Amino acid sequence: MRISRSILLLSALASSLAAQERDVSQLSARPSVPWVRDALIYELNPRTFSATGNFGGVVARLDDLKSTGVSIVWLMPIHPLGELKKKGTIGSPYAVRDYYAINPAYGTKDDLKRLVSEAHRRGLRVIIDIVANHTSWDNVMMSTPSYYRRDAQGKIVSPYDWTDVAALDYTNGATRKYMTDMLKYWIREFDLDGFRCDVAGEVPTDFWENARAELEKIKPELVMLAEAAKPDLLVRAFDLDYAWPFYGTMADVITNGRSAQEIGRTWEMERRMYPRGAMHMRFTENHDEDRAIARFGERAAMAAAALVFSLDGVPMLYNGQEAGDVTESGAPALFENMKVFWGDAERRPEIVDLLKRLVALRREHAAFRQGQTVWLRNSDQDRVVTFLRRDGAEEFLVAVNLSNKPFSGTVEASGAYSEVALTPGDARPTGLPAIALDAWGYRIFRR
């Protein structure tokens, strides 16, 4: 069985913190340009996003992405897939055969340049997935075995139980140069806006720091997203990482009935361990995890979305999520051609409407994008989370019931608030500090 990506990364975080490899909690996170802090990231699988399964299919939906509120389009790996030891019918996009080439099923280099140009014309940024930790077994780099990690017998090894890929060796300076030059190539030749870096915590931090410095000589304003939960990555190399610990806790609360108080505790842990001002990408689903609707149920998935989009950090939508799509994401779907079913939007209009409203709230109110987060006590801490998002101009109170039972109680709040309608006709009298929430209910109030 393949090791769960979220479990792996959470374990890596725990090990890193326990070992005190590098205490960065008193340092500042690297500064990011405003368009990164204000972003809505969209993870897109070119194979499944459209009927054509290519760059042209992405271009055809750029206006839809723009209207959704997306600002950064993240393309999952666009490189040719490995055939040797591949998984599934097609193979994993994370088993790369040539870092300098494009999967011919997606199009040509000119097709990618057109996609980037059309995205930029609409004010969208484009980043691509880079799998720097490992390659397919038939990657062109295999002609130089010293690029790879080997065991005591000199045999090239896989990372963990990922048998379809081979681990690169970053103790070799030649490997570092090859990978740095490759990253520079994609920025220079295609005017990309940055990278999402797969299992970034498994690659040495100093490699990423040096690579970032080289990339900024070509394009000073770019974004680097680490698929990791490793605090020192955010000091110099990356703008943001995955909120894996937060996601794991939220999922545990929703599916296993863990106390909702753990949500705030996990958030506080992130604040203690990470450099000051660090940003995390928050999500309810991605290509490594089940769809939120499938894992949590529709109503609970909506509660999770209300929580994620109201909190600090940068939110992410995944490949049809805005239409309520339930097409599988992880294995085996990652190795097969399972298309997004856009018709789900007609079946789940309440999910579509909620996401539109949450995105609009973030876009219209800086308190949600850059404001302070203050956790509030309520009369049922085990089921309900309550917090403030505020800046110098506005203050919002958010309440989310993460259980299947209605809540009627109080929240530690005072002052005059008005309710923000998340769906048409949804606003009810406030009466704060008294508050009522439906099962899996959520309410937002503004002062």
CATH of the domain at 271: 3.20.20.80
Q: For residues 414-437, give the mean pLDDT.
A: 82
- Order of strands across the sheet that contains 418-420: 372-376, 384-390, 395-401, 442-446, 418-420
Which residue type does 411 have? Answer: V
pLDDT over 90 (residue 393)? yes
Query: Is residue 57 a part of any domain in this protein?
Result: yes
Q: How confident is the model at residue 422 (pLDDT cuts 50, 70, 90)?
A: confident
Query: Is residue 14 a part of any domain in this protein?
Result: yes
Please identify, among 318, 333, 364, the residue that sits at the C-terminal boundary of a domain.
Answer: 364
User: ∠ CA 260-262-263 to the nearest 5 degrees?
Assistant: 75
Same domain, 332 and 420: no
Same domain, 410 and 270: no
Query: Is residue 170 a part of any domain in this protein?
Result: yes
Same domain, 295 and 405: no
User: How far from 380 is each of 263, 400, 402, CA to CA, in Å?
Assistant: 14, 11, 11
pLDDT over 90 (residue 239)? yes
Question: Tokens 């290509």, residue?
Answer: 287
Same domain, 198 and 251: yes
Contact, 301 vs 359, CB < 8 A?
no
- For 289-305, the pLDDT digits (tens) are 999 999 999 999 999 99
Q: How far is Cα 199 from Cα 229, in angstroms, rounded to an integer?
A: 9
Query: Is residue 320 a part of any domain in this protein?
Result: yes
pLDDT value of residue 2: 41
CB-count burial class (<10 Å; 0-12, 13-18, 19+) for 431: exposed
pLDDT value of residue 20: 47
Query: Is residue 371 a part of any domain in this protein?
Result: no
Same domain, 193 and 250: yes
Query: Is residue 240 a part of any domain in this protein?
Result: yes
Residues pairing with 234 in the sheet: none
Same domain, 424 and 388: yes
Please identify, among 323, 339, 364, the residue that sits at the C-terminal boundary of a domain.
Answer: 364
pLDDT over 60 (residue 378)? yes
Please identify, among 319, 341, 364, the residue that sits at the C-terminal boundary of a domain.
Answer: 364
Same domain, 67 and 174: yes
Question: Tokens 């209910």, residue?
Answer: 441
Same domain, 226 and 158: yes
Same domain, 269 and 403: no
Residue 439: give its domain's CATH number.
2.60.40.1180
pLDDT value of residue 270: 95
Same domain, 224 and 91: yes
Q: For residues 199-224, give the mean pLDDT.
A: 98
Same domain, 242 and 351: yes
pLDDT over 60 (residue 334)? yes
pLDDT over 80 (residue 367)? yes
pLDDT value of residue 5: 53
Q: Which of 122, 139, 143 lies closest to 58, judged by CA?
A: 122
Q: How confident is the model at residue 414 (pLDDT cuts 50, 70, 90)?
A: confident
Q: Which residues contact 371 (CB under 8 A, 6 or more apart)?
A: 312, 389, 390, 391, 394
Count of structural domains, the chain: 2
Question: Tokens 């006709």, residue?
Answer: 425
Residues pairing with 386 in the sheet: 376, 399
Contact, 123 vs 62, CB < 8 A?
no
Query: Is residue 369 a part of any domain in this protein?
Result: no
Query: Is residue 99 a part of any domain in this protein?
Result: yes
DSSP state of 337: -
Q: For residues 53-77, give the mean pLDDT.
A: 98
Same domain, 313 and 392: no
Give the domain range for residue 250.
Answer: 5-364
DSSP state of 73: E
Q: Which residues contact 298 (CB under 8 A, 6 or more apart)?
A: 348, 351
Lowest mean pLDDT among 3-17, 40-54, 370-384, 394-408: 3-17
